[in-house]
């Protein structure tokens, strides 16, 4: 243990990209129509990660608090737009609300993690703030998409049940509670399944990365447990806050769902 991670050279990267060839052959053989998408996605991945590696090198060296927080906020902006686009809702209506629902729990959990779990003197150290924040955001993006999309799709498919509860005297909050509950459970279930099988089905990314980086397995396990509980808490808080914040702009004065908030207008 403690040995530096083996470097991956230029030819090794060529061999890594050659792993995309079998999926291309399969797509072509079965006429899946995915060849162009596979090539574009692979190229984008390489270029994007190349740029990330380049500017993270300078961010880590500079390590200025405002730059570090600014980069984390920029990541949150991108994640918010991505979540909104995936849900098929209009960003002009929902961006501020989805952004706030994402950034507030994120900052709370990241500072909690750096202060009470890692015991950092500098809570804004780029080496911890950006990777931890990135892992939280990546998982939250998926949960947000599932939760918000499930909330709106269920409301549309079960609008009679919602309207019936209102007709029988329920407040809007009471009528929406089953839809909140269903959306929250749907968004959290994948994370619960991952937590229940971690170590048995797969070795998670942070743990694998730390072991490859030379950390002791026990240390890597401690970090992985800590980051998974942080991700779970952040996901729950973010989705709950997102559902709460999107509600006021999603209904008209008669408590009916507004269909003009969707990109399709349906």
Q: What is the average pLDDT score of the chain? A: 91
CA–CA distance, 128 with 202 (Å, rounded to integer): 24
93, 261 Cβ separation under 8 angstroms: yes
Domain boundary assignment for the chain: 1-62, 65-249
* pLDDT one-digit tens code per residue, 138-176: 999 999 999 999 999 999 999 999 999 999 999 999 999
For residue 235 the two structure tokens come to 């996901």
Instruction: At 113, list the tokens.
Output: 């993690």
Query: Nearest-CA neighbor of 250 among 125, 153, 141, 130?
Result: 153
18-75 pLDDT tens trace? 999 999 999 999 999 999 999 999 999 999 889 888 888 899 999 999 999 999 999 9
């Amino acid at each position: 243990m403690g040995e530096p991670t083996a470097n991956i050279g230029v030819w090794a990267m060529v061999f890594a990209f050659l792993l995309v060839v079998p999926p291309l052959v399969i797509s072509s053989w079965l006429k899946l129509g995915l060849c162009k998408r596979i090539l574009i996605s692979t190229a984008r991945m390489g270029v994007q990660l190349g740029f990330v590696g380049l500017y993270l090198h300078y961010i880590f060296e500079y390590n200025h608090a405002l730059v570090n927080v600014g980069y984390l906020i920029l990541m949150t902006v991108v994640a918010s737009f991505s979540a909104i686009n995936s849900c098929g809702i209009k960003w002009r209506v929902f961006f501020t609300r989805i952004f706030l629902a994402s950034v507030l729990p994120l900052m709370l959990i990241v500072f909690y993690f750096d202060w009470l779990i890692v015991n950092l003197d500098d809570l804004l150290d780029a080496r911890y703030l950006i990777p931890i924040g990135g892992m939280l955001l990546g998982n939250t993006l998926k949960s947000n998409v599932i939760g918000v999309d499930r909330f709106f799709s269920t409301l549309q498919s079960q609008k009679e049940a919602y309207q019936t509860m209102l007709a029988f005297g329920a407040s809007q909050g009471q009528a929406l509670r089953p839809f909140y509950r269903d959306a929250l459970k749907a968004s959290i279930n994948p994370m619960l399944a991952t937590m229940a099988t971690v170590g048995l089905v797969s070795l998670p990314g942070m743990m694998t990365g730390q072991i490859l980086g030379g950390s002791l397995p026990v240390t890597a396990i401690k970090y992985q447990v800590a980051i998974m509980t942080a991700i779970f808490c952040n996901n729950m808080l973010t989705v709950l806050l997102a559902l709460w914040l999107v509600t006021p702009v999603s209904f008209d004065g008669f408590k009916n769902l507004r269909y003009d908030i969707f990109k399709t207008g349906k």
